[in-house]
Amino acid sequence: MPLHAVRPRTTASRATARHTPMGQGEAEVLRIVADARTPVFVTVREGGRRRYSYWRPLDSTTGRGGCYVALPTADCDALHAAGRITLGDPVADPARTTYRVRATRTPMAAVRVLPRRVSAA
């Protein structure tokens, strides 16, 4: 079941949400998603339940990690509604559909370059 079928979105609400400030939880989720070394996935079950998660590698110095870590669904859904994260192609099996989650690339604003002033000394 595609994620967009679970919760329809309009372009008007997406444009409005894009300009709202992020909370601390959303900023942390976006930092994790934007890290290319940390692949994040969302799994959508038959009933529409979603779970965003990533694999935390084992840290040899602390001995922590080596497990899947769930991300807050509400924060991830808010980022998706705001257009700050996108979903890749679905991989479906009978019980669930899995999508790769990526941060949206925002185009850089145009930079105006002013000519250099040469001062006469």
pLDDT in tens, the chain (121 residues): 444 444 434 444 444 444 556 788 899 999 999 998 899 999 999 889 999 999 988 888 998 888 999 999 999 999 999 999 999 999 999 999 999 999 997 655 555 666 667 666 6
pLDDT of residue 103: 94
Q: How far is CA 42 from CA 30, 35, 53, 82, 105, in A?
A: 14, 16, 6, 17, 19
pTM of the model: 0.67
**Residues β-bridged to residue 86:** 102
Q: Other CB atoms closer than 10 Å to residue 8's CB: what's the count?
A: 7
Q: What are the residue ranges spanned by the domains of the chain?
A: 24-103
Q: Are 6 and 81 in contact (CB under 8 A)?
A: no
